[in-house]
């Protein structure tokens, strides 16, 4: 009898240990990775001081590490994307949350979106003025409302029903962004008087410092997610909405295919369905993520005259970060590897 019990416990122990080993092997085999961006634009090497560079690199590292930690613990890609984006929204260095650019009228209107590649569900908000972390509200729209996009006062009312508090719009103010508005307005009004509104906006393009933030991630369960958050473009007119909250333009995620977050001149990204087009090339033309993203950013968009870039990730954790501007703040981190932080093509 005693011998039988010992044999039984031995086989139970063996069975348990083989189960644990299989579970371990399963997670060990699973790739996971995250990529983030802090905006593309005219980031001049000559103008960015060493201290500024270090500040950007440190914040990007902190943000990518936060998302990576979520993934390494087995957390889901949606949580990782939010963990990274919240850190960038809370930093005045980037054009999202605190430090958002000013509208033409001197206020702030923020846009954000998030997409779950597993369910193809998505949430977005546009033109909010009192939400400290727009990505969190976009997530709530996805999980707790029957809608995909809420805008303005309605979005803020929804935030209150979700127990989120509102911040005064002055919370987003920074002196540096105010100066950018001042400079931009002078150029716009001068050009507008001679060439009209459309020409004046076009003339300003290269001076916009984009600075939107975003993240894409693949978790150990194979789920893809993408999120983007922005203050939009300096001196945008009242009510203008860019690509960042538009699913398929600034943000897209689909399990088995890819996840994309964009930054750049939103009007082009909307018209060329940039995020969705990259994933369509992967899905229907079987192109690699590197090739698909490069074709859209460095061929199609350049021909169209649209500037900006994307971060994109595929089902195996391959990452592409093409941009057609001087620079794009970005960081990536793949399973078991240290963070890679870059601003220009080569560093």
Question: Which residues carry out catalysis?
Answer: 212
Cβ of residue 74: shortest distance to ligand ASP, in angstroms?
A: 32
Residue 233 binding ligand ASP, by CB under 6 A:
yes
- Choices 163-171, 259-267, 280-288, 336-344; region in contact with ligand ASP by CB under 6 A: 259-267
Task: Output the CA angle 304-293-267, nearest 5 degrees.
Answer: 40
From candidates 76, 116, 243, 294, binder to ligand ASP by CB under 6 A? 243
Residue 307 binding ligand ASP, by CB under 6 A:
no
Name the residue nearer to ligand ASP (CB basis): 38 or 117.
Answer: 38
Question: Tokens for 174?
Answer: 């920074």
Burial of 237 (0-12, 13-18, 19+ CB in 10 A): exposed
C-alpha distances in Å from residue 32, one per residue of 25, 71, 74, 82, 216: 14, 7, 9, 16, 11
Residue 125 binding ligand ASP, by CB under 6 A:
no
Cβ of residue 161: shortest distance to ligand ASP, in angstroms?
A: 27
Residue 265 contacts residue 308 (beta carbons within 8 Å): yes
From candidates 210, 252, 323, 329, binder to ligand ASP by CB under 6 A? 210
Task: Output the CA angle 213-99-237, nearest 5 degrees.
Answer: 85
Residue 97 binding ligand ASP, by CB under 6 A:
no
- Bridge partners, 228 (sequence order): 113, 214
Residue 230 binding ligand ASP, by CB under 6 A:
yes
Name the residue nearer to ligand ASP (CB basis): 95 or 334.
Answer: 95
Name the residue nearer to ligand ASP (CB basis): 133 or 244.
Answer: 244
Residue 248 binding ligand ASP, by CB under 6 A:
no
Among candidate residues 35, 42, 56, 90, the one with its CA nearest the CA of residue 234? 42
Residue 103 contacts residue 238 (beta carbons within 8 Å): yes
Name the residue nearer to ligand ASP (CB basis): 108 or 265.
Answer: 265
Residue 39 binding ligand ASP, by CB under 6 A:
yes
Q: How many CB atoms lie within 10 A of CB 194?
A: 8
Among candidate residues 277, 288, 275, 318, the one with its CA nearest the CA of residue 115? 275
Residue 211 binding ligand ASP, by CB under 6 A:
yes
Name the residue nearer to ligand ASP (CB basis): 133 or 212.
Answer: 212
Q: How many residues does the chain have?
A: 347
Give the residues lining the site for ligand ASP (CB under 6 A). 39, 95, 210-212, 230, 232-233, 242-244, 250, 263-266
């Amino acid at each position: 009898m005693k011998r039988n019990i010992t044999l039984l416990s031995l086989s139970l122990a063996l069975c348990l240990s083989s189960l644990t080993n299989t579970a371990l092997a399963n997670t060990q085999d699973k790739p996971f990775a995250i990529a983030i961006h802090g905006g593309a634009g005219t980031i001049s090497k000559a103008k960015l001081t060493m201290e500024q560079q270090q500040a950007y690199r440190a914040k990007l590292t902190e943000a990518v590490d936060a998302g990576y930690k979520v993934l390494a613990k087995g957390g889901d890609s949606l949580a990782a994307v939010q963990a990274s984006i919240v850190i960038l929204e809370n930093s005045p260095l980037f054009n999202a949350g605190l430090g958002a650019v000013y509208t033409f009228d001197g206020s702030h209107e923020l846009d954000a979106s998030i997409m779950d590649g597993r369910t193809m569900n998505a949430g977005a908000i546009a033109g909010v003025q009192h939400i400290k972390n727009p990505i969190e509200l976009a997530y709530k729209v996805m999980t707790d409302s029957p809608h995909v996009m809420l805008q303005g006062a309605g979005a803020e009312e929804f935030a209150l029903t979700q127990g989120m508090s509102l911040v005064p719009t002055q919370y987003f103010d920074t002196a540096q962004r105010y100066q950018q508005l001042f400079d931009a307005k002078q150029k716009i009004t001068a050009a507008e008087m001679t060439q009209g509104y459309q020409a004046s906006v076009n003339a300003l393009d290269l001076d916009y410092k984009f600075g939107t933030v975003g993240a894409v991630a693949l978790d150990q369960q194979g789920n893809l997610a993408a999120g983007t958050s922005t203050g939009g473009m300096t001196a945008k007119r009242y009510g203008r909405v860019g690509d960042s909250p538009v699913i398929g333009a600034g943000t897209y995620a689909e399990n088995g295919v890819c996840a994309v977050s964009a930054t750049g001149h939103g009007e082009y990204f909307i018209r060329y369905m940039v995020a969705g087009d990259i994933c369509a090339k992967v899905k229907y033309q079987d192109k690699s993520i590197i090739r698909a993203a490069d074709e859209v950013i460095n061929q199609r968009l350049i021909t169209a005259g649209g500037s900006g870039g994307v971060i994109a990730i595929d089902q195996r954790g391959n990452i592409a970060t093409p941009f057609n501007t001087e620079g794009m703040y970005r960081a990536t981190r793949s399973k078991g590897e240290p963070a890679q932080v870059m601003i220009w093509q080569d560093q």
